[in-house]
Every structure is written in C-alpha cells, then in structure tokens.
Amino acid sequence: MDLTLATDEEHGGPEIFASLQGEGPSAGMPVAFIRLSRCNLACTWCDTPYTWNFDGASNPSNQPHRDGITFDRKSNQVTLSAEDAAARIAALGQKRLVITGGEPLLQSSALAEMLELLPDMSVEVETNGTVKPPARLDIRIDQFNISPKLGHSGNPSKLALVPERLDAFAADPRAFFKFVISDSSDVEEVIALRDKFRLASDRTFLMAEGIDSNTLRNRQKWLSGVCVEHKFRMSDRLHIHLYGDTRAT
C-alpha cells in the first residue's frame, strides 16, 4: 500500500527527516518525521500549504491561503510504498516517530502497514482531530497531538470541530490538545471548547500563531499570562527559532 508524502523542496525527495520536535509535550525531543500530503481542511494561516493548496484544485473550505500562493501538485507530492517509507525512517536511527501533514489520518491504512514494519518505535501523530483512527492504526500510536481549528482558521466549524471526535480524544489519555492563538478572541473560543468537551487543562496547550521569532515572542508575552490564569500549558515553536519557516525541519 502506498503513502502520498510532501516533498523536501531543497533535496527534491520525500519529507522524511530527523530533527527536534518543535511543538507540544514532546518539544525538544530528537525524533524522525514523516510529513504526509493532503488535508481535509484549509487553514488560511497554514504553515504547510504545499501539502494541500494545489494549482487549480478546490479545497474543503473554499478559501484561499492568506499568502495567495498555490503549488504544483506533481512537484510537491511523491508516492512511496509503506515498505520504502519504513526503511527510510529506520535508517534515520531515531527511537521516536512523528507523523504529520497535511492530515495524516486520511492515509490510515497505509500508515498502519508502515508502522507494523517499525514495531520498536514510539509514535506520535499530529492531527486536526476530525478523523477517527481505525483500530489497526490506533493500537500503534503512543501519543496524539490534536490541533482543533478555531474560527480564525477560516474553516467552517461543522468541518473543523466534530463533536464525537473531540469527545473521544478528550477521553483518551494519549491525547494532548494544541490550539493556535492569534488574539484574545481565540482564547475565549478555547475556554468554551474546554468546558463543553471537558478538555483537561494540563493536557491543553496554547501556541502563538506565527512563522517568525518576533511574531511568536510578541504573542507569547501576553499568552503566557493567559496560560497562568487558566492553567493551560504554552507551546513554543522551537523549529521556527532554530531553522526559520523551512521544510524538513
């Protein structure tokens, strides 16, 4: 079974690489990454639009990316077999794997096949929280990083916030929630979701939206006080400070 991956622009190959996890509860850990292509949402501020915002293609939210840039599908997607992807990941020599996207759970069957070839790896999945992982994949996952999309993402709430999925993830001790925050109105939305779905504050991260260090630091100054007040955790974007807004980092 094949996987559709995003490409590493610099090297022209699939985006499978070793780095430090930049966000959430595993920030700072050395990991292997695999970035899959395709998404069922379309965030206007998405930092990986090359995984879904293709020339001439419609998107689920029928909205443009704020940068106004689209990407050639052929040069930004590559197909690998599950066996090939697993071999490339194993060759990186890491003990932990982060599966990201795009929305990786759209390719659950192929991911399950790949992970069966990597039985000794700890695995975390970064997902928007709208897709149910099938049992064959779910049993292989050690950590879910759920990033529900708030109103400022531009996605209709009926697509971005699926009650049965949020209920299920909220009850899963493997799940951590990470919300992208641009201003105070986003915080109010997070508090409402926390109360409605009983999200555990100690497993809920607020992360400033931004693709450069100055923007992140300026937003973190006021966001830190919000986290203290409401007992949320704050996530940085370590890779932005280290490498900038670049692929395969």
Q: Model confidence over 165-221: pLDDT tens digits?
A: 999 999 999 999 999 999 999 999 999 999 999 999 999 999 999 999 999 999 999
Cα-Cα-Cα-Cα dihedral of 45, 233, 237, 170, to 10°? -60
Q: What is the pLDDT of residues 137-163, one digit of tens each?
A: 999 999 999 999 999 999 999 999 999
Q: Does pTM surpass 0.85? A: yes
Give domain status of residue 58, yes or no: yes
Residue 60 has what pLDDT? Answer: 62
Give domain status of residue 166, yes or no: yes
Of the candidates 211, 209, 198, the one whose C-alpha atom is nearest the C-alpha of residue 235 is 209
Beta strands in 9-75 (DSSP E): 13-14, 16-20, 30-35
Is residue 165 within 8 Å of 132, Cβ to Cβ? yes
Asked whether the predicted pLDDT for residue 75 surpasses 80, the reply is yes
Give domain status of residue 155, yes or no: yes
Give domain status of residue 44, yes or no: yes
Beta strands in the chain (DSSP E): 2-8, 13-14, 16-20, 30-35, 77-81, 96-100, 122-127, 143-146, 175-181, 204-208, 233-235
Query: What is the rounded distance in angstroms from the CA atom of residue 135 to the CA atom of residue 69?
Result: 37
Paired strand residues for 145: 126, 176
User: Which residue's entry shows tokens 């689209």?
Assistant: 70
Give domain status of residue 150, yes or no: yes
Type of residue at 88: R
Q: What is the pLDDT of residues 33-73, one digit of tens each?
A: 999 999 999 999 999 999 999 987 776 656 778 887 899 99
Of the candidates 215, 246, 249, 247, the one whose C-alpha atom is nearest the C-alpha of residue 236 is 215
CA 108 vs. chain centroid, Å, equals: 15
User: Bigger pLDDT: 88 or 8?
Assistant: 88
Give domain status of residue 36, yes or no: yes
> Any idea what the CATH number is for the domain that residue 126 is in?
3.20.20.70
Give domain status of residue 138, yes or no: yes
Q: Please, what is the Cα angle at 81 between 80 and 85, to 5 degrees?
A: 70
Domain that holds residue 167: 2-181
Q: How many beta carbons lie within 10 A of that of residue 71, not counting itself?
A: 20
Number of domains observed in the structure of the chain = 1
Asked whether the predicted pLDDT for residue 109 surpasses 80, the reply is yes
Give domain status of residue 242, yes or no: no
Of the candidates 210, 35, 183, the one whose C-alpha atom is nearest the C-alpha of residue 107 is 35
SS3 category, 126: strand
Query: What is the rounded distance in angstroms from the CA atom of residue 164 to the CA atom of residue 16?
Result: 32
| β 77-81/30-35 pair status | unpaired
Is residue 101 within 8 Å of 126, Cβ to Cβ? yes
Q: Which residues contact 191 (CB under 8 A, 6 or more apart)?
A: 230
Q: How many beta carbons lie within 10 A of that of residue 109, not counting itself?
A: 13
Asked whether the predicted pLDDT for residue 12 surpasses 80, the reply is no
